Structure 1
Amino acid sequence: MKTLPAALAALLLAACQPQDPEGKPAPPPADAPATANPVGTTMDISKPITARGTEPFWALSIDGKAFRLTRPDRPDLTAEAPGAAISDGRAVWVAKTPDGRQMTVTLYASECSDGMSDLKYPMSAEVVLLDEALRGCAAKTAELPREGG
């Protein structure tokens, strides 16, 4: 008996979604905000990349298949990944540390600000470890934004 109200609610919600004359979802309005990961966005990950975050402070260097995570008051953590899974607007690596722990690194092709300065980075970054998720910004190491220029 509980499935009937749920099915009715789903049907009503579907009926409220804008559709074109052929029944397909309508395109977003012209004044709709841009999506965070635009479809068709490609990422160049062929050069070394540096990701940074605040609260807590951390930095990650990506050089091909090698990763180095640095954080204050902790030993550096190194890892290797066979390569990135690349899809529209993002690249994902599943890396392993020498002792077998997993580090998942995701870069998104979306502008990012570090929250402590007005610096703008071309990518957002996420590093996920077993017990922690770090979020920040990233850019090719040679093109990192700098204060005053």
Structure 2
Amino acid sequence: MRSFVLATSALLVLAACTPQAPDGAAAPPPADAPATPPPAAPPATSTPLPEEFAGGMDARGTEPFWGLQIRDTQITLQRPDHPAAVGKNPGMTVQNGKATWETQAGADRLTVTLSSEACSDGMSDLKYDYAAVVVIGSETLKGCAGHAGAMPKEGA
């Protein structure tokens, strides 16, 4: 009981020390009070820039196997037992640290998203600089990506 009385007394003392306007509302801070610091800047993220993808990108995945090429004018998805899906490269958009390309490849919508994160293809244990997600029609393919001509190779 004594601790309750002490805690209540402390709260009353603090409340009495808080400046208040005549109507009981909190009073504005004194003119010589230090300014409130601005909110902290959001943490830096690894957001890809268009220059990062200059020269094109390649992506590949397993189970099912697939390969993708992003070049200046077109995007090509190749898969066994499927005709190549080819669409114009409209350029990328960057949002939430990911680069995305959206195009029409024949009858299907083709969306490619690359994110700057280490990736392994799960079969060869090769290491890539980017994770890739490709959506064609209702199918989603996941894999890894890198700069065209600089993809990791086994034994290298």
Which residues of 2 match residues 32-43 of structure 1 at below 5 A? 39-43=45-49
Deviation at 1:39, TM superposition (A): 1.1
1:114 aligns to what?
121
2:154 aligns to what?
147
2:91 aligns to what?
83
3-state SS of 1:110 partner: strand
Q: Is 1:42–1:88's contact at 8 Å kept on the other side of the alignment?
A: no
Deviation at 1:56, TM superposition (A): 0.2
Q: Supply the distance in 1 between the matched residues of 2:131 and 2:120 (Cα, whole angstroms).
A: 8
3-state SS of 1:108 partner: strand
1:132 aligns to what?
139
Q: Deviations over 1:38-81 (max 9, x none)?
A: 71433411112110000000000110241111111111110113
- Percentage of matched positions with identical amino acids: 41
Aligned alpha-carbon RMSD (Å): 2.3
User: Aligned AA for 2:84?
Assistant: D
User: Aligned AA for 2:48?
Assistant: T
Which residues of 2 match residues 1-149 of structure 1 at below 5 A? 39-43=45-49, 44-87=52-95, 89-99=97-107, 101-149=108-156
Q: Deviations over 1:92-131 (max 9, x none)?
A: 01111244x3111100110100000120000000111122
3-state SS of 2:149 partner: helix
Unaligned 5+ segments in structure 2 are 1-36
Q: Is 1:120–1:145's contact at 8 Å kept on the other side of the alignment?
A: yes
| TM-score relative to the length of structure 2 | 0.67
Q: Is 2:102–2:112's contact at 8 Å kept on the other side of the alignment?
A: yes
The alignment covers a number of residue pairs equal to 116
3-state SS of 2:145 partner: strand
Q: Supply the distance in 2 between the matched residues of 1:71 and 1:102 (Cα, whole angstroms).
A: 16
Deviation at 1:88, TM superposition (A): 5.1
Unaligned 5+ segments in structure 1 are 1-21, 28-37
